[in-house]
Structure 1
Amino acid sequence: MARRPDHELTAHVRPDGYLDLSSRRTGKRHRCGPRGTTMWLALQRSDWQPELAADEIALRLGVDPDSIRCDIQAWLVHFREAGE
């Protein structure tokens, strides 16, 4: 099931490939490296469907989608636990 980010979450991709996420609701800020940025952008393009995002990334990188799915799920759990 797709779960969109909190509407008060702002995201900014920096020129160096890092993603800055900040929540006006919680005041928390996170910086993600290029790998997290890639996952964020793929999730956006796939309407926040982790399976579709993993398929997109795996196709681009020529890797097994299952390994990418695990990475995306772990990344999402991290942010859900952080309240983002």
Structure 2
Amino acid sequence: MMRHDRELVARVLPDGYLELFSPRTGKRHRCGPRGTTMWLALQRSDWQPTLAAEEIAAQLGVDPDSIRCDIEAWSAHFREADA
């Protein structure tokens, strides 16, 4: 299970992009609509990638395993960037 960084500030901008800001590192990340969708699904699923993937896969009519891999890779990118 993933854990949301309580210090991470997230906001969805009017253009549909997600901005993540880490006050600890001072780094900002801007995510497109795909990243925004993953972030919102993770929030709704209590940060559980499998549940988030199932939600997104049902909306798109695709295999949840491929979406879960995308979510895990996307999440790993941020863990590495903020290390």
> Could you state the TM-score of these two structures normalised by the residue count of structure 2?
0.95
Aligned to 1:26: 25
CA distance in 2, matches of 1:32, 1:82: 14
**Count of aligned pairs between the two proteins:** 83
Name the % identity: 77
Cα deviation for residue 62 of structure 1 reads 0.6
Mark the runs of 5 or more structure 2 residues left unpaired by the alignment.
Answer: none
Measured against aligned partners, the alpha-carbon deviations of 1:31-71 in whole angstroms (never above 9, x if no partner) come to 00000000000000000000000000000111111110110
> Could you state the TM-score of these two structures normalised by the residue count of structure 1?
0.94
Aligned to 2:74: 75
Mark the runs of 5 or more structure 1 residues left unpaired by the alignment.
Answer: none
1:1-84 alignment to 2 at 5 Å?
A: 2-83=1-82
Secondary structure of the structure 2 residue equivalent to 1:3: coil
CA distance in 2, matches of 1:43, 1:77: 14
Cα deviation for residue 3 of structure 1 reads 2.6
Question: 2:13–2:19: 8 Å Cα contact kept in structure 1?
Answer: yes
